[in-house]
Amino acid sequence: MNTENRYQRQLQLTGFGKEAQKKLAMAKVLVIGAGGLGCPALQYLAGAGVGTLGIVDFDTVSLSNLHRQTLYATEDVGKLKVEVATKKLKALNPEIEIVPYIVQLNNQNALEILKSYDIIIDGSDNFSTRYLVNDACVLLDKHLIYGAVMRFEGQVGVFNLERNNLKTNYRDLFPTPPDAASAPSCNDVGVLGVLPGIIGTWQASEALKIITGIGMPLANKLLTINLLHNSFYEFQLAKNSKSEMEMPKDATALLQFNYDWFCNKAYENILSCKAFDQLLKQQKCLIIDVREPNEMPIITEFETLQLPLSRFSESIADKTFNNTVVVLCQSGQRSLKALELLKKQHPKLTAFSLEGGITQWKKSH
């Protein structure tokens, strides 16, 4: 197949040309997460001719993914995202290499997976993975392209890329994890389908600029986009004196670092799905669902008391609780806030938040 014809429209760009295309062919980019951000990033990087694309994801396609993860179709529901993505990306561009990693990234495998790549694109949707990826990139000296979305607003930035004697990382932006109870995910509050497409494509654009040397990457900057108001804000980042306080200093420290605990250390009363099942068998707990009434999925496996978080404080003010209480929501974040309110009003109550929410519990059954 004629390679020059495939890439003709970018080859004819002033300042791009054959040398830039050769750089793309030699480049290796790892995309973490084949979801809302990863899908568009992968599609455009494959189309552009990035020589090696790695994909890390262990999840399967669900119907609720399809409004924003346009790499997949209805017929792909239930299939592994990495396998579907690999097949479709090879069909898009058979001249490049796709390396699938059907694993959950953790501190035991991160350094081994990331070390072979030039640029890392973080398309994850949780803080523990973001901190892990950042720390691994710092230790390996890899450029990291960050993206995040929620509701109608998205963020993109480039970390660990030196410009003007400055090299910032994710911990300079967030030295400590944001309060999980006040930082809901898309599972909890939703996202406009086109937004991940825009941010993921922007991440791909940053990768192309870094690889080819064209333009000005968002090094040491954070760009925020609000689709409702058509607003764009660019923030200059600086080194944060607190950023290195808890960061692992070497590979051994990273292997020993507990990222889940680090990102949820303010919450000791988090109940695993397995422990929750044990409580269900004993039939000695009250389960409170703090989701709004119209949220899916519907729970039919056990009885719940519905007390939406928006009215939670007044709802529990006059209540008496005789059993252990388990609070749940969609993903385990709003339930943390509800648990905090519950313990404040009933300090002696034995209460827990269900880890991962009803979404994770249903996946495990």
Domains and CATH numbers, the chain: 3-264 (3.40.50.720), 270-363 (3.40.250.10)
Strands (E) in 180-304, as ranges, are 221-226, 231-236, 270-271, 285-289
Task: Report whether 71 contacts 83 (CB < 8 A).
Answer: no
User: Is residue 269 over pLDDT 90?
Assistant: no
Greatest mean pLDDT range, 78-92, 185-199, 332-346: 78-92
- Asked if residues 124 and 146 have their Cβ atoms less than 8 Å apart, the reply is no
The model's pLDDT over 215-247, given as tens digits with 9 standing for 90+, comes to 999 999 999 999 999 999 999 999 988 887 889
Report the predicted TM-score, pTM, of the whole model to 2 decimal places.
0.79
Higher pLDDT, 96 or 272: 96
Distance, in Å, from the CA atom of 274 to the CA atom of 354, rounded to the nearest integer, reads 10
SS3 assignment, position 280 = helix
User: Following DSSP, what letter does each residue of 129-174 receive, concatenated?
Assistant: HHHHHHHHHHHHT-EEEEEEEEBTEEEEEEES--BTTB---HHHH-
Of the pLDDT bands very low, low, confident and very high (cuts 50, 70, 90), residue 185 is low
Comparison of pLDDT for 319 and 120, the residue scoring more: 120
Is the pLDDT assigned to residue 27 strictly greater than 70?
yes
pLDDT > 90: percent of the chain: 65
Over pLDDT 70: what percentage of the chain? 95
Give the tens place of pLDDT for each residue, 277-299. 888 887 778 999 999 988 888 89
Across the chain, mean pLDDT equals 91
Q: How many helices (H) and strands (E) does the chain have?
A: 16, 13
What per-residue confidence (pLDDT) applies to 343?
86
Higher pLDDT, 284 or 82: 82
Identity of the amino acid at 283:
Q
Once rounded to an integer, what is the mean pLDDT over residues 48-61? Answer: 96
Which range is least confidently modeled, 8-12, 76-80, 263-267, 358-362? 263-267
| Cβ contact 272:266 at 8 Å | no
Q: Is the pLDDT of residue 45 over 70?
A: yes
Q: So what's the pLDDT on residue 237?
A: 94
- pLDDT, tens digit, for every residue of 131-168? 999 999 999 999 999 999 988 999 999 999 999 999 99
**How is residue 87 written in tokens?**
């097949």
